[in-house]
Amino acid sequence: MSPNPERHLGTVLVVDDAPDTLRMLCDALAAEGYTVLVARDGEQALERLELVVPDAILLDAVMPGLSGFDTCRRIKAHAAWTHVPVVFMTGLSETSDIVAGFDAGGVDYVVKPVRIEEVLARLATHMRNARVTRLAREAVDVGGHGVLLLDVRQRIAWRSPQAERWLREAFPELDGGAPTDWLAQLVGSPTGHEVPGPALRAGTVGIRLIARSLGAAGLGETMVLLSSERPAAANATAGGLAQAGEGAGPSRLDVASLTPRETEVLSWLAKGKTNRDIADILGMSHRTVNKHLEHIFEKLGVETRAAAAALASRAIPG
């Protein structure tokens, strides 16, 4: 089967030291519609990730130098890569080896010699699940909230990007974590109850982190919603600044007469999303996104994405 340039299913990094396996997988993935990146060992895989973050990784467990398990641990320890699903490929078939793969952060395990149809099916499922999870996570963050999942030992099992940013700002010495006594208070609080957090800084205006328990989210897990709250004095100051600028007349965005759909597209553009991301989020084709952007640029009188995003970031609430 020859590669189909009109069908792009995503980017896959294949890591294996066996040339025959690499060749077979690369040919099959390209024919299916994937863009394929190749690495011969763990160190080379990490170098590839510094340049491009793929949608999934097929990773050999046994390689010279850095093993696949150690490579996966390093990938999952990196905040920008932790969302990428890793599927192990190896001749190791003992239960202890399979458990080791999952403990290292893998989402699946296929035994060599690999069966191409099986690999393709598993890969498609995990990429779809990862994309849905990413979009859901980003939707929460775009709404101005962060999310934490706390495990049965009152540790952070997962955090959304916005939650991680706030925690790093609040507790810089804990590398994205939080004090155990505060987490214990969150786990023990009634559902819906607000637990004030530490004061943060947002520019020159002070804000306070607010945590609200959403109750059980799984076996022993607690979901916590984070939000920020400005003190009353800061709100009054912000309101005064807004009133002071009211006499300046309407902005270019105010008079552009964008449709509701165009406003949605522009809002996601201002948040740094690619056309592909916007299409996935809004449930439309890439071509439709391009058409909306053409109309937006014309109405705003700009020629580039950066100029449109700059106008939107000043006028559309984050």
Q: Give residue 217's pLDDT band: very low, low, confident or very high (50, 70, 90).
A: low
Q: Which of 294, 262, 260 is nearest to 278 (CA)?
A: 262
| 223 pLDDT more than 60 | yes
What is the reported pLDDT for 46? 94
**What's the average model confidence in pLDDT over 237-254?**
42
For 311, half-sphere exposure in the C-beta direction (CA atoms, 13 angstrom radius) is: 20
209 or 69, which is more confident? 69
**Mean confidence (pLDDT) of the chain:** 77
Strands 34-39 and 156-159, sheet pairing:
unpaired
47 or 215, which is more confident? 47
Mark 279-288 as b/e (b = at least 16 C-beta within 10 Å).
Answer: bbbeebeeeb
Burial grade of 157 (CB within 10 A; 0-12, 13-18, 19 or more): middle
Q: Give residue 15's pLDDT band: very low, low, confident or very high (50, 70, 90).
A: very high
Q: How far apart are CA 167 and CA 222, in angstroms?
A: 17
Q: Are 312 and 299 in contact (CB under 8 A)?
A: no
- Token duo for residue 257: 């007469």
Q: How far apart are CA 61 and CA 136, in angstroms?
A: 31
| 155 pLDDT more than 60 | yes
What is the reported pLDDT for 202? 38
Q: How far apart are CA 76 and CA 67, in angstroms?
A: 14
The helix, strand and coil proportions of the chain, stated in percent and rounded to the nearest 5, come to 50, 20, 30
- Token duo for residue 312: 């939107």
Q: Give residue 227's pLDDT band: very low, low, confident or very high (50, 70, 90).
A: confident
Q: How far apart are CA 175 and CA 16, in angstroms?
A: 32
What is the reported pLDDT for 308? 79
Given the structure tokens 């916005």, which residue do they identify? 162
256 or 242, which is more confident? 256
Q: How far apart are CA 311 and CA 318, in angstroms?
A: 13
Residue type, 88: F
What is the reported pLDDT for 277? 84
**What's the average model confidence in pLDDT over 297-315?**
74
The 108-111 sheet, strands edge to edge: 34-39, 10-15, 56-60, 86-90, 108-111
Q: Which of 112-126, 211-225, 263-277 has the highest mean pLDDT?
A: 112-126
113 upstream amide cis, omega within 30 of 0: yes
Residue type, 180: T
237 or 86, which is more confident? 86
**What's the average model confidence in pLDDT over 218-245?**
56
Quick: pLDDT tens for 94-139.
778 788 888 888 889 888 888 999 999 999 988 888 876 766 666 6
| 198 pLDDT more than 80 | no
| 244 pLDDT more than 60 | no
| 142 pLDDT more than 70 | no
Q: Give residue 255's pLDDT band: very low, low, confident or very high (50, 70, 90).
A: very low
| 144 pLDDT more than 70 | no
The 146-150 sheet, strands edge to edge: 156-159, 146-150, 222-229, 205-216, 194-202
Q: Which of 12, 22, 6 is nearest to 52 (CA)?
A: 12
Q: How far apart are CA 218 and CA 198, in angstroms?
A: 27
| 43 pLDDT more than 90 | yes
What is the reported pLDDT for 53? 87
**What's the average model confidence in pLDDT over 211-235?**
69
Task: Tell me how far apart the terminal alpha carbons of the chain are, to the nearest angstrom.
Answer: 46
Q: Are 68 and 92 in contact (CB under 8 A)?
A: no
Q: Which of 283, 307, 286 is nearest to 296 (CA)?
A: 307
